[in-house]
Amino acid sequence: MPKSSDINRVVIIGGGPAGRIAAVHLGTAGEDVLLIDRKGATGGQCLHHGCMVICALNDIARTLAHSEKLTAYEIFDASPKVSLKNIWRETGKIQKTISNILDEETTGTGVTLCTGKEACINGPDVTLDGEEVSYDKLIISTGSRPYIPDIQGTELPHVYTPHNIHNLTELPEKISIIGGGVIASEFAYIFSALGSEVEMLCRREIFGSMDETFVKLARKELKKVSVREDTPVDKITENRQGAGLTLHAGYTESRTDAVLIATGLVPNTDMISGFEKGKLGEIIVNRDMQTGIAGIYAAGDITGPPYLTPVARREGLIAASSILGRENPGMPSCIPQSIKLRFDHSFCSVPGIKPDKACILPSPAGAGSFWSVPERYTGYSKIELDTKSGKIVRMYAGSPASSLFTPYMAYLMEKGTTTEQLKQFLEVHPAADGIYGLIKYAQALREEKKREDETVT
């Protein structure tokens, strides 16, 4: 419950991206900060179950795919084999290293770190392992958890989520992935590259309403994966003597050795009550991340989609700024995102503006795509613009490292930068993306159209 003293104490529940960033800013400002996390270390879902795990596995998957290609060209003698058990062992070591660095950075700002204890929140009342915790300000940042659909048998052995997939220590001959979105596709690509037979069972169409260019390329990169659309799973049953599982989807059945449920995330609010919540269970906040209870804030995935680490960090900064009485740094409207398959597939858009022209070209060959030229697949670059103003409204890039430059594009798009302003931009060469070249091409089209109109006039 809140303290009744002159000493300002901030308690933060959750040591993921939102909570840790808030703690660091508050600690640096000289506040008395207690950061509580039920895990043995900070880092949250991003480090322990999400982004970093995908990075670790995707690095291996891409290396295997590249090695397979070079072996086919008789440049390598053979492609390497993998040990899933060793992957998890070494991944865990690196996660521990990162977590230790985060802990040192956090406590170095004067923050008191308390890990391995369970907090329970009921309105203004907070307990830690049953003991009451007092505070002046409270930030709730308990993140999100895997969404488990209402399917019979999800509790069976050999049924996993991204939070416990590390318990799968032997590469399955076949793995079935329930889901048709980002997480499901990333794991599908990874396990197919590792050597498993992979099927995706999608309740609706894979990737839903995402950019058609991306969907086309993603399907190409998932060519080893059997994608079954409009196939909601009814139940999962265990075969006799524990020999694998069977997925029942309507009138069809699918035998498999393991099941991964990758159907998205929901706010982790099971241990939280006494607040106004949305339909997903997210805590409702205002633009300063304040809840309906004075002195209590919420930040990160707990406030709902889009469940992105940079968004969570910014929300943590906003909450800290509000507590410190500083100006709200705001949340950009143009938010860059990326999906990691064989290439990075990155995109962003400016809301509220409808483009009237789309330009799309194959990405150039470069690092990560040179050896893909023989199969005529080096990715694609695409921009959509408002031709009258020259403003870029949407962009998509499928290339080996598109996630590196897309944030800069998002910033320029947010600022309303035009193709006219960017035509003097000089890119690095060689590079495996073509966005900047495409911008110059789009501007050349605009100038040609302007000359035509002037001639007619």
What's the pLDDT at 274? 97
State how far the alpha carbon of 385 is from the alpha carbons of 132, 360, 391, in Å.
55, 12, 6
Percentage of the chain exceeding pLDDT 70: 98
| Percentage with pLDDT > 90 across the chain | 88
- The pLDDT tens digits for 211-233 are 999 999 999 999 999 999 999 99
Helices in 43-126 by DSSP H: which ranges?
44-48, 51-72, 84-107
Side-chain-side CA neighbours of residue 83 (13 Å)? 5
Looking at every residue in the chain, the average pLDDT score rounds to 94
pLDDT at 2: 55
Domain residue spans of the chain? 9-146+266-324, 159-263, 337-450
Tell me the residue length of the chain: 457
Predicted local distance difference test score (pLDDT) of residue 454: 83
Beta 344-349 vs 337-340: how paired, if at all?
antiparallel
Is CATH 3.30.390.30 the classification given to domain 337-450? yes
- What is the per-residue pLDDT across 238-270, written as a single tens digit (0 to 9) for each? 987 666 899 999 889 999 999 999 999 999 998
DSSP states of 203-263: SSSTTTTS-HHHHHHHHHHTTTEEEE-S----EEEEPGGG--EEEEETTEEEEESEEEE--
Name the superfamily (CATH) of residues 159-263.
Answer: FAD/NAD(P)-binding domain (3.50.50.60)
Query: 280: Cβ–Cβ under 8 A, 6 or more apart, which residues?
Result: 266, 267, 304, 305
Comparing 9-146+266-324 with 159-263, is the CATH topology the same? yes
Q: Which residue has the tokens 């308690």?
A: 11
Rounded Cα gap, residues 138 and 34, in angstroms: 10
The pLDDT, as a whole number, for residue 6 is 42
Could you tell me which residues come within 8 angstroms of residue 86 by beta carbon, excluding any fewer than 6 positions away?
none
Predicted pLDDT at 28: 96
What's the farthest any 2 CA atoms get from each other in the chain?
82
What pLDDT is recorded for position 449? 87
User: Which pLDDT tens digit goes with each residue over 310-361?
Assistant: 999 999 999 999 999 999 999 999 999 999 999 999 999 999 999 999 999 9
- CA of 105: how far to CAs of 43, 53, 141, 253, in Å? 12, 21, 19, 51
Q: Half-sphere exposure of 86 toward its Cβ, with a 13 Å CA cutoff?
A: 4
- Provide φ and ψ at 381, rounded to 5°: -120, 140
Average pLDDT over residues 116-143: 94
Query: How do residues 266-297 score in pLDDT, each as one tens digit?
Result: 999 988 999 999 999 999 999 999 999 999 99
pLDDT at 241: 65
Tell me the CA distances in angstroms from 431 to 65, 223, 402, 436, one per residue in order. 20, 25, 10, 11
Q: Which of the listed ranges 77-81, 117-121, 256-260, 449-453 does the model predict with the highest average pLDDT?
A: 256-260
pLDDT interval class at 378 (50, 70, 90) = very high
Q: Does domain 9-146+266-324 have CATH number 3.50.50.60?
A: yes
Q: What is the pLDDT of residues 50-66, one digit of tens each?
A: 999 999 999 999 999 99
CB atoms within 10 A of CB 242: 10
Question: What would the mean pLDDT of 89-94 be, rounded to a whole number?
Answer: 97
Judged against a pLDDT cut of 70, whether residue 5 lies above it is answered with no
Residue 391 DSSP SS3? strand
